[in-house]
Structure 1
Amino acid sequence: MADRYTEHILTSLSDGLMVVDETFAIVVCNPALEEMLGLPASKVLHQPLAKIFTQAPFLCQQAASTFQSGKTYVNREAFLPRRDGTVLTVSLTTSPLFDSEGKIIGTILVIRDRTRMRELEAEARRLEALASFSTIAAGVAHEIKNPLLGIRGAAQLLQEELPTPELREYTEVIIKETQRLNTLIETLLDLTRPQRLKREPQNIHQLLDRVLFLLQLPARQKGVTFQRHYDPSLPPIWLDAERITQVFFNLLQNGLDAMEHPGVITLTTRVAAESQVLAPDRAPTHFALIEIRDQGTGIPEEIQDKLFTPLFTTKSRGSGLGLVISYRIVNDHGGRLLLKSRPGQGTVASVYLPLSKQG
């Protein structure tokens, strides 16, 4: 009876759990740990801890410290690389395992996946930063807009009075640059205004194909092809077609810009599990996942946290607002926009949109 309860406990735990003996060989592991590692129990049991966790020396060190000292170490946070190349943010708790005589005969390790929680915390920080930026941007944009209109008007009047085409070229530069700045200011103001979404049921694949049609010429010029893996079972999604099309255009254009050599951009759609995107303040629902994967240069790790920061850009001629606007549009739809990138291996943009009408 006790063994059966023990088995049920191990199976029911959402945290990864394993036990190592005095030689640090793994003698117990539960299904949650198998899922974290991407390995079946048959490949884990009776293997040295250091062999299974070659890229996570912190785990072996903490297990050894617990075994030697008899102390429990609680919720030490670290990164756990997986075999598929992804990295989990985890907290590790280690406790000594005693026999009936009080002798330490092994170590119990409990690994909790905190990746989703850290992503939600980062999202909350981004939303807070965007709200603060919007307040400042609204004031600054209004202060700049009126003088800018004055400069443009004066340049237009001056252009009419100048006698030669050569001199009028200079005023044309002023007019074009003030128009460019005015467009940037309007974009900033759009970030500060409440957005009214015009939602209608839309075929997400038709929206994607429309953007691919618009980008086919620049893609062909760079030797880039698009591969589509669409899930035909996806139902129509209630969304603002114009705004979501803008999101797809921004993301695909970014993918093209990142491709320095001929290659492939892959578009995949499918239904996503609730647990992948569920935030504490949102009602449970199902999501459509639109994944855009490029083969570009990737994004350096040190700047990945800044990608959704207004006015931050890695491009020589970029406003630094494309991703911010895309992030807000997806969030206004009740969805999520995530970017994952590895230098030299490309970037994956994941757009999650709720399948329910309410969003």
Structure 2
Amino acid sequence: MENKILNKMIKPEIFLPIFIIAYVILSSLLFYKFWNYSNDQTSKMAIQATEAMAIGLNGEMYRRLRGVPEDVGTIHFESVKKRIMKLVELYKGVKFIYPYILRDGKLIFIADSEPPESKDYTPPGTEYSEADPEYFRPFKEKRAIVTKPVVDRWGTWVSILVPMIDETTGEVTSVLGVDYPVSKWNDDAVIHITQLFVILLFFLLLLITIYRLVVSIHTRKTKEQMLREKEKSYQELFDGSRDGLVMVDTQAGILDVNSAFCQMLGYSLQELKEKEDFYSITPEKWWRYEKEEIWNNRLLKQGYSGIYEKEYIRKDGTIFPVELQAYTLKDESGNVSSLWAVVRDVTERKKMEQHTLKTQRLESIGILAGGIAHDLNNLLGGIFGYIELARKNVNEGKFDDVLKYLSKLMTMFYRAKDLSLQLLTFSKGGNPVSKNQSLIPILKRFSEFSLSGSNVKLNISVPDDLWNVWVDENQMGQVIDNIIINAKQAMPAGGEITVSARNVLPGEILPIGLKAGQYVCFSIADNGVGISPENLTKIFDPFFTTKQKGSGLGLATVYSIIKRHEGEIDVKSQLHGGTIFTIYLPASISQEKSEPAQANEEFKYYGNVLIMDDEEDLLDLFACNLQELGCTVTCAHNGDDAVELFLKAKAAYKPFNLVILDLTIPGGMGGKDVINRLRAIDNSFIAIVSSGYSDDDIMAKPCEYGFNDSIAKPYSSQEFIEVLRRNGLK
């Protein structure tokens, strides 16, 4: 309370005006008193001096003067005249000395202090006609008078009038007047007042200086107190934060952490400070990302990292997920001196998200199953129908429409295949079977196909020098197809879709989640109805749909495919302003172009082929197709049979040139184990792995497991021929 009152009292805007006004008032009163006192003292001293003069003059010679012109030349006149003139010389500041008498109500000069040759000389007997009434007062009051400044023909004066009294009668016989020029009269008072002013000014400046010193000291103490309170508040906030707070230097050395961060990792503050650097509590897989992307591309360029996720290692060795946001601190030179990071343990949130996702999947599985059953039943109904029509026409000897029915049958077969691939991609990820190729033909072919027959105009802007990418062509086609179908449905009255692509140069700011490197970016933009903000954050969620007959798998599948390609997808939309999907894919270091597909009408291969599959019908079908190409085919139903047949062929000097192995054999050796056994026997053959599980890592990277190539079931003869050509089999 006292500090608050003191703070108000010493505020310059309040105190200084009051102090100065009070000081001026007091100084004015003091000046007035001192001026009056000085004038009083001057008057007293002047009266005393004039009385002394009067005593000196009031002798026999003086009393003989009659105040008539005839006094001039007399001894007594000359004696008085000289004495008066001598007095003027003795008393500095005195201008005139003149005795006068009152005769017939008039003031008559007896003598004056001016020499006869002076223009101001007044002969005796001359009337003082300009006299102020003040000059009559000594005759009436019989006391000395100090007049106010009086103006006459000689100037402006202050006169000291001392009555000369006859001791016998007690009457005033004459008055001795002494004139002081006004300018001289106030000299002493002015000097005294000036001295007083200097003293008062000195004390005023001294008081102001003392006041400013007190204010400065008080302000400094107040700031120190506020700083201490602020530091205390910040420390309480720092220590009391439920999020982890950590400060590190530019070499990743830990400078300070709060208790929440210590509890999060299970270390004490001292233990954390003793760590060599921040990376010792970070799994190694995050080091490059944080150094190249977070530090180089974000913190150094924009001063903050944005929110991103990573992992930490607790003291007990367990790894847990965190959400992190970092900021740079700079020194006086503008250089980054340290980093602040806000860290939040998201373990519980991740568990909740997984639980929620599982709950949503369980709740939606009925709807999804119904939709899948509906689509598959439609496709199976068409397949069975066309088979029945073809069989009926063959039995009746009508062969004209059989080819048309079989063509429609193949169309429905490919639709069923696409549906299974889409479900597999969504449910298990569908590892891409990638190859180094240009994105240009993929963008053009799938974009044009998706919009064929629609009222939507397609604009494609792709540079010729677009870098190659490692992608699965079919999966990337799914991405383009799903996005463009959504865009087309958002423009029922027609519109425009623009497909563009560009190379992302090193150093550009990348979306969160991407590692530093070279990328190819392509975007698909429409001018449709747009997506509302509340739905924009949900569009990639499984089973989320705003369509009456939608399954909610389209964009979820797109997201899954892009993530499997180690890319990133971003979407920007505005209601009634259109939507833009932007996809980033890692660029291929090698820019070799893939060979164009060749026609397969006359393809023949006369090699010795071993094929292994547990499905009898598929085995017969594959064998027939291979025999049509000219192959000699041997079939195996399991892994043991395949190895035995392989050994017999080698012993008979008829080794197999091509081996096709099913990846999974229930209850027996699958393709992964069989290829290892066969490679140990002979390494000179071409091996192809085949499976309906296209999400298996072996299907994506067959060369790493002893195979030369892979093909996903079901497949057409044209697709199989393309695999043979790709491996140099003719």
Query: TM-score when scaled to structure 1?
Result: 0.49
Higher strand share: 1
Higher normalized contact order (CA 8 Å, seq sep 6+, divided by chain length): 1
